[in-house]
Structure 1
Amino acid sequence: MVRVGPNELSTNRADCTQPILGTGGLVKGECWYNRVPPGTPTSLVSIRMPAVHKSRRRVWDLAFSATTIRDYWKWHLMRRVGQLVEHLGLITEQEKSGAKAVVDLNNWMSSFTYDIMGDITFGGGFEMMKTGGDTTGMTEALQGFNTQHAILAHIPWAHTYVRLIPFAAAAGKRFAEIALAPLITRITEGTQVKDLFWFLADEESPEPPSRATVKADGIMAIVAGSDTTATTLTAMWYFLLRNPEIMQRLEEEVDSHFTEVTDPWGEDAVQKMSTMMWLNSIICIPEGTQVTSHTYSLQRNPLYFSLPDVFLPQRWHPREFVDFNTDRKFHQHRDDPTSNPGFNHDPTAFHPFSTGPANCAGRAFAILELRAVVCAVVWRFRFLPLPGVRLEEWEESLEDYFIVRRGRLDAAVECRH
């Protein structure tokens, strides 16, 4: 337990996670105070009182139920996955003219996730893959806005004064204007498609939320569903580029399960992806003290994960598993460090979607999204490091301000099928 501020404690102990974030845990600290002007509805993620959060969370759980994902979201997802594969395929056509086909994986993963979140939240509206990236300045405005909020979180009373400074409030207003443009179109057209807006509006409720509340949650959905997944996908490609032997194992697994991964997928394909091994590989604290579980250091703590800075997807494999090439059981190779009896692996210290009643409402869709993108892209393409490029520069570019600032991740791309 480390004191990181006059009234703030941080811990990277796994056994502290549930008491902090779990049911009956601590309420959100002062860093979430005063984020919006008085009288303005706050988004779900900023709600500090558990009872209020539980009430608002109800429609989110309905929106991201297994039934809704199967009946509505999956169609949008597979259409966008097909579009991503199509655009990457066009880039590989450059090889026919003798030029090296190069792709910025960070840009394409970001464009994909913004497009799919626009689809399921407001019925569409961004089309970043079609334009080759963000041409509106929305993502840049979002980064500036969240950087400012991450700093002001330590002095929450300062929000009141910063909102009075036009240039300081400009980034947040700019992002909101661009992000809400599809919402305005959605309201004007009045479609009855069951997108996230349909659930958030909750018009069948005796007391439906205000339009301002729906707007706040809609903006949050775009941010929460795009930045997180884009960061995960880009980081995955980064580690695969640095570990070609693992990339090869993943390619073999995808090839053994699918013959064409951009065709419409049924439940059997979703089930296949869920079983693919390499794919899924005592103090008294004064009341009012802000306590956080420091996820980065918790998940890189060697007490819970041996070799925490080494990319070892097999750490998530069972000790004995089915070889997808020979369909027989075999033990992990003796040179594999994860086969060492002293190798630490404690899944209770791993919380990619947070934990407790305020965990990620869209986690099931996010998992499906990650699996679908990886399967489709790996089946069709192979990414390779560019000569003379230090891949480590991408990891060194990362900055965490609630969302993650990410630099370019350029790679050569070639077709496999």
Structure 2
Amino acid sequence: MDFSNPKLLFFSPLLAIVLHELVLRRVEVDHLAIPIIVTTWFAYAILAFQADLVTASLVAASFWVPLWLYIGAYRTIFHPLRNYPGPFFARISKWWVVKQNWDTNLHFHRAQQRLQKEYGDYVRTGPRELTIFDVDAIPALLGSQSKASKGPLFDILETSLHLNRDKQFHRQRRRIWDNAFKATLSDYAVKIDEFTAQLLTRLRDQAGSPVPLLETMTFFSYDVMADLAFGKPFGFIKGEQSDVAASILKAMTGSLAAFGLLQHVSWFMNTLEKATFFLGPMKEWSNWSVSQMQKRMAVKDAKSDLVSHLIANTSNDNAGRALLYGESRLIVSAGGETTSTALTFIFMHLATHPKYIYALRKEFRANEALYSCQRPLPLIDAIINESMRMWPSVFFPSQRITPPEGLTVQGHFIPGDMIVQIPPFALHRDPRHFVRPEEFVPERWLDRPELVLRKEAFIPFATGPYNCAGKGLAMMELRSVVSRVVNEFDVKVLEGFDEREYWEGIKDHFTAGAPRVDVRFVGVNE
């Protein structure tokens, strides 16, 4: 074949247009990035070998440049979402969001609020993406009867309850998780209080010295989750962690900033996930979790707990074992990270609003004889709710894909196969939903119900069939730690602490990225 033939340079742009019309417009390619990249470079290498680099580059340019121009024209002028308002460059590429993340120093949750003010409740934030700030859209998009399915960010390497897009699989697996929690949560309350006791010992040993708050809460939450997943903790609270455990925690928490920067570009995240899962620091986490789960599966007559129920209801074959490995990592990483930030924010709110410490202490002591971290108490639950309203542990709006026939949401028709998302941070801070939304007012959940205008806008654990399976466990952890710590300690910020700077320093890492700050836990007299 004569690669220098001008006909080839004419054929390439034609092929690009055909590819877009017959494939790219009709097939979700987010999970196909690696095959596309490999195929492209392979074709370029063959062309360069058969002809020369100049010819190969000309042919590649005659394909890619028209393709990019055609895609740009389609997305801005002819796309089904063309009539929805939004920033111009967001129509062309999701890399616009990456730039916003970079420009705002990972404060895209605040950028979303500005988008709402400028463009309204339905904003085009990507080539085929709508960000929706309308609380009345929640049932249609996230509710139990919603026809929408999970978005491409959930389509990564491994399968678990959370990381899959198969509705039937999720429904069946979620039933197993719910039954397991129902059967074991009461027994695990004792275990949570044991870890809280270890945390109290650690704080007593600090004797009022400055304590790195986020790190300390991370040690607690990851120990609890490792024990839940593998039957034994990492040993962080007692300072008995292995070098491997320390390396794993560093890898997981250290990668959050990069994840926060790129989280909205699904195809890139899927590619990065696959690469780091087989190479780099996350490989150690993968290998270690597999070894721990294998040990857990080998235990005869194991105690009845969450994982024993999962093992008993999972096929003992390659697919079943891979599912258990993935879910063990889900338990530790998802549960550990979200609980640690929730605890951190609660204690920072208490440290800056000390009147609630005294009130909490009074409530705890009045109910101490009947204490159980499973048992809701008005003030502790109100403080937890208010802290999570202001700072939900997960900032990322859970992606959904509209069904092929499309959806009509509050009079807005959204075409089929579009990504839709509702950001919880913006929802929680909307004055249409909460009076004085920027203020920490736990009373809104107690005796000031008039401060909650739309309770359905409060979704810190998500909502619908994909809501957090571990909500009950998380609430037990939060009640146990906060109630018992404030029973023994006042929480004090250090001299020179700038409250406004702290809250403005929280970043969007998919989860909420709490700034590192020291506080003092000062013992109180009985």
Give the shorter-chain TM-score range.
Answer: 0.7 to 0.9
Conserved? CA contact 1:117–1:221, under 8 Å: yes
Are 2:378 and 1:276 aligned? yes
Are 2:350 and 1:240 aligned? yes
Are 2:189 and 1:74 aligned? yes
Are 2:425 and 1:315 aligned? no
Can you list the C-alpha shifts for 1:45-86, whole angstroms capped at 9, x where unaligned? 121121111011122112211x4111x211211111111111
CA distance in 1, matches of 2:242, 2:365: 33
- More contact order relative to length (CA 8 Å, sep ≥ 6): 1
Secondary structure (helix, strand or coil) at the match of 2:304 reads coil
Secondary structure (helix, strand or coil) at the match of 2:130 reads strand
Q: How much does 1:158 deviate?
A: 3.9
Q: How much does 1:142 deviate?
A: 1.6
Are 2:451 and 1:301 aligned? no
Conserved? CA contact 2:380–2:483, under 8 Å: no
Change (3 A) 1:125 1:240: closer
Tell me the matched-pair count: 374
Answer with 73-82 or 402-411: which moved more. 402-411
Can you list the C-alpha shifts for 1:276-307, whole angstroms capped at 9, x where unaligned? 33443421111111001110000100100111
Change (3 A) 1:367 1:163: closer
Q: How much does 1:396 deviate?
A: 3.4
What residue number does 1:223 align with?
A: 333
- Which one of the candidate residues 119, 125, 136 is aligned to 2:227? 119
What residue number does 2:162 align with?
A: 45
What's the Cα RMSD here? 2.8
Conserved? CA contact 1:111–1:133, under 8 Å: no
CA distance in 1, matches of 2:215, 2:241: 6
Conserved? CA contact 1:143–1:403, under 8 Å: no
Q: How much does 1:187 deviate?
A: 3.6
Conserved? CA contact 2:314–2:320, under 8 Å: no
Can you list the C-alpha shifts for 1:21-46, whole angstroms capped at 9, x where unaligned? 1113210122323x11xxxx412112
CA distance in 2, matches of 1:301, 1:73: 37
Change (3 A) 1:140 1:240: same
CA distance in 1, matches of 2:486, 2:188: 22
Conserved? CA contact 2:180–2:309, under 8 Å: yes
Change (3 A) 1:51 1:101: same
Q: Residue type of the partner of 1:56?
A: R
Change (3 A) 1:134 1:241: farther
CA distance in 1, matches of 2:145, 2:365: 46
Counting aligned pairs with the same residue, the percent is 28
What residue number does 1:57 align with?
A: 174
Can you list the C-alpha shifts for 1:214-241, whole angstroms capped at 9, x where unaligned? 0001100111211111111100011111
Using the size of structure 2 for normalisation, the TM-score is 0.65
Can you list the C-alpha shifts for 1:336-394, whole angstroms capped at 9, x where unaligned? xx7xx6x4532111011111111111111211221111111011111111111224444
Answer with 210-219 or 271-280: which moved more. 271-280
Conserved? CA contact 1:162–1:169, under 8 Å: no
- Stretches of structure 1 that go unaligned for 5 or more consecutive residues are 93-99, 260-267, 320-337
Change (3 A) 1:144 1:28: farther
Change (3 A) 1:17 1:187: same
Change (3 A) 1:142 1:273: same
What residue number does 2:7 align with?
A: none
CA distance in 2, matches of 1:173, 1:314: 46
Conserved? CA contact 1:241–1:383, under 8 Å: yes
What residue number does 1:85 align with?
A: 200
Conserved? CA contact 1:257–1:272, under 8 Å: no
Structure 2 counterparts to residues 305-384 of structure 1, below 5 A:
305-319=434-448, 343-384=451-492
- In our comparison, the structure showing a higher alpha carbon Rg is 2
What residue number does 2:153 align with?
A: 31
CA distance in 2, matches of 1:278, 1:22: 28
- Which one of the candidate residues 5, 18, 33 is aligned to 2:139? 18
**Which has the larger share of helix?**
2
Change (3 A) 1:91 1:134: farther
- Which one of the candidate residues 285, 306, 328 is aligned to 1:175? 285
Q: Residue type of the partner of 1:60?
A: W
Q: How much does 1:154 deviate?
A: 4.2
Q: Residue type of the partner of 1:354?
A: A
